[in-house]
Chains A and B, each alone.
Chain A
């Protein structure tokens, strides 16, 4: 690894001050699962002069309800999300998504904030949060700003974050806490695989067993995690049937722009989108049904 200066931030505002002081060739270190691999093997042009370690900034941790909704601190690890009682009870899709990331060791280190900031299009934490209309809070030297997570992503490995800004938290709006949701990932093997396609669907069951506020988000099939707006607008108010769910899957295909690469062809990915979208809606509905039975 090439040499760099190392600073450990005590809290979020300390981190922001360090970033402002040392930018722009500065990198934030959280869980390290992406950054350390990059520091070892990335091109010299990407190499930072300064690394700001935020892993001791405890105000960036924690998972709990606030006035705005369910707050997940950017430093919450994938394991902490999997074990959180409130996440398990209200949003089990987030548990499933966290569980598909890496392996035990990397889930213990890797953070939700880090997964989002790295912004790899196949990230497994993105689709469920986008389907739940999650909001992110970004802190900079001039204060905080919030935006929908889907607008936080710009493209492959690119977000709206400036070099002196820090992602501090992810919030699932309180009206969506408990919304039935389901996450599915398709990889070439079970352990430590990157998604060929990952999908999350969420909706409320409205009067007369109809779709209310349906959302579907797709990963690994566009430069960033995207909504599938044609599937969402088609389903709004429609009866919940196998046919409408299958049609939503077919429509979602046209919202995506999958690529050919060494993992899979674009046409295979298009087939996966249709099937996984349908199954994700089926899974969310099954969660609704099982909760109602209790």
Chain B
């Protein structure tokens, strides 16, 4: 067994898991954080996307042991009990998600993009979402939502 201590969404968590446990499995089965999804399990679909030490990654491609000591943000870390994150709010208003399976990954990819590039171009948005496969809504409304958030942030004072 491998002992793992990570900070997840600001909270320190520990677990002891078999070496072959992925970060995704650790999050879902040890910590009951089921926002990140198991899709393709090989890093193509992006449903398992999380942010580790500021890097957008596929949690299915990282072993829990590799995540030991690191800081992890999952989709559960964005909203508070009474308030959606602005990106989630905008996706909701624009109808950018239908079934929602890809949503946690897409929204974290959007957050990562906007953190790096406050005013992304459409090609930059498409590039940032190319690791997240959506098979129902399509990408048009996601791109519109991300553009809207960027514009709103530019108009208002910066939002975390």
Residues of A within 8 A of B (CB): 1-6, 8, 29, 31-33, 36-37, 39-41, 51, 53, 55, 79, 102-106, 108-109, 190-192
Contacts and interface: CB of A to CB of B under 8 A. Distances in A.
A37 B61 contact: yes
A103 B131 contact: yes
Q: Is the interface of A mostly helix, strand, loop or mixed?
A: mixed
B32 to A, nearest CB: 21
A2 B66 contact: no
A105 B58 contact: yes
B63 A40 contact: no
Given A5-B19, A33-B43, A108-B55, A103 B61 contact: no
A104 B109 contact: yes
Contact of A109 (B20, B22, B62, B126): B62
B20 A39 contact: yes
A8 B46 contact: no
B57 interface: yes
B56 A104 contact: yes
A102 B43 contact: yes
B131 A32 contact: no
Given A37-B61, A103-B131, A108 B66 contact: no
Interface string B117-159: 0000000001110111000000000000000000000000000
A36 B23 CA distance: 12
Nearest 8 pairs between A and B by C-beta?
A103-B131, A6-B19, A191-B130, A1-B20, A37-B42, A108-B55, A105-B131, A103-B130
Nearest to B108: A105
B49 A105 contact: yes
A192 B130 contact: yes
Interface of B: 2, 18-20, 22, 41-44, 46, 49, 55-58, 60-63, 65-66, 68, 109, 112, 126-128, 130-132
Contacts of A36: 22, 42-43, 60-63
Contacts of B43: 33, 36-37, 102, 105-106, 109
Instruction: Tell which of A39, A108, A191 has the most Cβ of chain B within 10 Å.
Output: A108
Nearest to B128: A104
A286 to B, nearest CB: 20
A4 B20 contact: yes
Contacts of B60: 36
Contacts of A104: 56, 109, 112, 127-128, 130-131
Contacts of B62: 32, 36, 109
A55 B66 contact: yes
B49 A40 contact: no
A27 B157 CA distance: 49
Contacts of B65: 6, 8, 53
Contacts of B128: 104
Given A6-B2, A55-B66, A104-B112, A109 B19 contact: no
A3 B130 contact: no
Contacts of B49: 105
B22 A108 contact: no
